Amino acid sequence: MKVIEHYEKAKEPLISFEIIPPKRGGAVSNVFESLDKVVEKVKPPFIDVTYHAAEAHVEEQKDGTLKRVIRRKRPGTIGLCAAILHRYDIDPVPHLICEGFSKEESEDALIELNYLGIHNVLAIRGDNTGSQTSLNLNGTVNKFAIDLVNQIKNMNQGKYLEDIINAEPTNFCVGVAGYPEKHFEAPNLDWDIKRLKQKVDAGGDYIVTQMFFDNSAYFTFVEKCRKAGIDVPIVPGLKILTTPGHMVRLPRNFHLNIPDALADEVSADEKNARQIGIEWAKQQSLELMEAGVPGLHYYIMGSPDPALEVIDFLKKK
């Protein structure tokens, strides 16, 4: 089923999750152990699986020369999505990124997903790793997420990169990303929302937000989106702070704000950072659900335990 159909049919906010593939050489059994817990407690309608761009490394060769090598640290997104679909009978949502992929590679990935019966994708630009130039084959790259959305929607109309007669159309539901505290490259939030509307107008079926810890930012974001004419579901993405280091890494890596109340509490009692973060997430999630959000999307990445503790709390309310 398409993600947008899950939201349209839901009678209460949906709970979904986002995971990452194991590192190259890592055991997929660890991912399944986490998903077993999630499915047993929640049985989410869909699970997102991230895609990571290739990264450039300089490696010394046997003759002493240096060679620039492009490698993906976390391959396997498509394979993991296929495993989720057939192991759990849950709709996987692979992330497709512009960074580090040519249009031809994106088309190939979409064809593979279509053959596997996977018809949901999240189209994002991806983080700049410095590899895009190396993979820029004759300029055939999607520079921005809207370009990738257009490519996917063209395939849904049977339009491929080559002019193929009687080409079979695909049938993808396309999610796009939104930023309640604006994308770090945007000059302001209003400008960023105009670009988001362009992605929706191009064919984005729903929006999932970047993580945030201040619900007022999400509520303001949704209000501005509605005024701008964006009428698709806007799903809040949530990350649970579990270590003191998150107060540095999350703002640095994801360009978000940690509210003073949360930062002060963790700073005053670092040993209990995990429980403080979980309690914050409980209240944050409850307020969002009471406000009637379409769903809650948890970035669990590694361990699902903190998110499952929050969900246990919500079930009792």
pLDDT in tens, 67-124: 555 555 667 899 999 999 999 999 999 999 998 788 999 999 999 999 999 999 999 9
Q: What is the DSSP pairing of strand 55-60 with strand 66-71? A: antiparallel
Please check whether residue 309 is in contact with residue 25, taking contact to mean a CB–CB distance below 8 angstroms.
Answer: no
Please give the pLDDT value at position 140.
Answer: 85
Which tens digit of pLDDT belongs to each residue from 165-179?
999 999 999 999 999
Band (pLDDT 50/70/90 cuts) for residue 139 is: low
Exposure of 48 by Cβ count < 10 A (0-12 exposed, 13-18 middle, 19+ buried)? buried
Domain extent, residue 223, equals: 3-315
Closest CA to 150 of 120, 113, 123, 177: 123
Spatial separation of the C-alpha atoms in residues 100 and 39, rounded to whole Å: 32
Exposure of 162 by Cβ count < 10 A (0-12 exposed, 13-18 middle, 19+ buried)? exposed
Q: Residue 61: pLDDT above 70?
A: no
Please check whether residue 144 is in contact with residue 177, taking contact to mean a CB–CB distance below 8 angstroms.
Answer: no
As beta bridge partners, residue 177 has 208
Residue 204: CATH number of its domain: 3.20.20.220
As beta bridge partners, residue 124 has 97
Please give the pLDDT value at position 133.
Answer: 44
Q: Residue 134: pLDDT above 50?
A: no
For the chain, what is the mean pLDDT?
Answer: 91
Band (pLDDT 50/70/90 cuts) for residue 244 is: very high
Q: Residue 66: pLDDT above 60?
A: no
Spatial separation of the C-alpha atoms in residues 214 and 189, rounded to whole Å: 16
Domain count, the chain: 1
- Contacts of 304 by beta carbon, 8 Å cutoff, 6+ apart: 17, 34, 35, 37, 38, 298
Share of the chain above pLDDT 70, in %: 89
Please give the pLDDT value at position 129.
Answer: 47
Query: What pTM does this model have?
Result: 0.92
* Averaged pLDDT for residues 228-243: 97
Structure tokens at 112: 């593979």
Share of the chain above pLDDT 90, in %: 82
Q: Residue 137: pLDDT above 80?
A: no
Task: Give the angle 97-210-9 at the CA atoms, nearest 5°.
Answer: 90
Q: Where are the alpha helices (DSSP H) in 103-188?
A: 103-116, 132-135, 145-156
Please give the pLDDT value at position 64.
Answer: 58
Of all helices (H) and strands (E), which one includes residue 72? none
* Averaged pLDDT for residues 121-133: 70
